[in-house]
Amino acid sequence: MAQITGIVNCLLVGDDVAFTTIDDGTGFTETFILFFGNNPSTDPKARRAQDMWVSLLQEAKAHNLTVIVTPISDDSSYVASVQLGRFESSGSEPL
């Protein structure tokens, strides 16, 4: 799976599972795993990231905002990062 930019179509959160489906606006949707099984992680840094992902996706779903979801690798559906909105350079700022 590659990085996808779109709107949150679905967000499912349970005691030991969280999934999201992103719609890229062309009819293509991708499902990602935020955490599954023995998660949320016991590692404090990972747990904060997972909590933030869920919060960002809830906000995006509620307000129809664009998100960018990046998997840990091209052949994985596990999430490495969630970004709210698009980064747009003004042209005068370095990337």
| Tally of domains within the chain | 1
pLDDT at 71: 95
71 lies in a domain? Answer: yes
47 lies in a domain? Answer: yes
Whichever domain contains 32, its CATH number is: 2.40.50
89 lies in a domain? Answer: no
| Mean pLDDT of the 62-85 span | 94
pLDDT at 95: 45
48 lies in a domain? Answer: yes
91 lies in a domain? Answer: no
44 lies in a domain? Answer: yes
Residue range 11-69, pLDDT digits in tens: 999 988 999 999 999 999 999 999 987 655 667 888 888 899 999 999 999 999 999 99
CA distances from 12 to 41, 84, 92 (A): 17, 18, 40
What's the domain range around 17? 4-84
46 lies in a domain? Answer: yes
